[in-house]
Homo-oligomer: A and B are copies of this chain.
């Protein structure tokens, strides 16, 4: 039997209330997005006056619908929402996504009353509600996207539960550029009914999801939240950005989604106990969640650094130290093995620094193999793989002198990276890439596509290793 929330993420049919033939309204844009992403099931519209909305079957009220759809998208004025929910409930629809704002978050008695009425109406019919005051749900495996933004790229392995709609929608371009996809993403809004606790319960059993990311402003019930988080953490990694912890963050959160933030009982220690990995920047939430979904955790704090560049190595080392990880000096035996792979000006003690050297095979295969098979590290960061962007820059330099064709060199590098990836996957340790090139570079794209996490800076790479270490500590604790 599917999970009660499954209709939100894998609906077979949908009713839309609030779309019309006027493309400038939010409801219409959301409907067009559903059509654009080729939602495969039937879509029915409810509209008082339109005969048909963009060619879809359209009805005056829920009572006239030919079937009870799995879910409904509601984008009508707040005062009409409870009545619409009532109609849908009578027709037999069991879930609804309420985009409309103007409820509890207003801070007025009328707003609170309307939200209570919404919830009570839904409960009467056994309906579950996402929202109100949200941007909706994106579920790429189901081709289901109720937001105004087109989803970019393939489905990913990260699910996001967010008390901000922006972190579900305005980021899609940013995430798409990095190749970081969602399995599911839910803008929770006021969480009048379905809240982050329900979301954790659903995602724990969701096979499309490899890791759960949360953006949290406030927690309705600290104890229930931590219990749900712990249950979910036992199934898969959970990472959170929690902004309601400071007085200032709590005040702003309250006016945003009416969240009861800053509850003193939800602090870092409790988060760790529940297996929640914490980050403090939104970029780190996406980056760490992606890493947690694609690589094994760090089983201990020891990091190996493999680099062609001393500055990033020093930055990585300093960040390792500040984040409470360790940079062990390699044993004489391992250093002797590395010595033949590193030029005389390089170093072998950890970092392994090959300096500005073009021997990509030593850099990305032989040294990686030696380090990750040594038993001396629990994870590694590789800074500086070189691919098409560097090679093209070089070609521009020598281009007016020579006819230079990068294709064979890129192909050769790709083959080396495939071997590097093979070693990393077989090694069972987390390895992350740091480089100032994004997915536009052939080598970074190759690592990324194979599931090796890639970061645009040394510090961000270490931040994700720290998340993998936090995850590893939790796994050790709950399995022993």
Contact = CB atoms under 8 A, between A and B. Distances in A.
Interface in A392-410: 393-394, 396-398, 400-402
A127 B283 CA distance: 47
A314 B253 contact: yes
Contacts of A150: 393, 396-397
A318 B321 CA distance: 25
A277 B197 CA distance: 42
A351 B252 contact: yes
Interface in A155-178: 162-167, 170-174
Contacts of A281: 457, 459-460
A408 to B, nearest CB: 14
Nearest to A216: B314
A117 to B, nearest CB: 18
Contacts of A106: 344-345
Contacts of A312: 164, 166-167, 282
Contacts of A244: 314, 318
A271 interface: no
Identify the interface centre among A162, A312, A319, A436: most chain B CB within 10 Å of its CB.
A436
Interface in A300-353: 305, 309-315, 317-322, 327, 344-345, 347, 349, 351, 353
A294 B392 CA distance: 31
Given A101-B345, A309-B165, A249 B321 contact: yes
A238 B456 CA distance: 24
Interface of A: 23, 26, 29, 32-33, 36, 54, 101-102, 105-106, 133, 135, 148-150, 162-167, 170-174, 215, 217, 241, 243-249, 251-253, 255-257, 280-283, 305, 309-315, 317-322, 327, 344-345, 347, 349, 351, 353, 355-356, 384, 389-390, 393-394, 396-398, 400-402, 435-437, 456-460
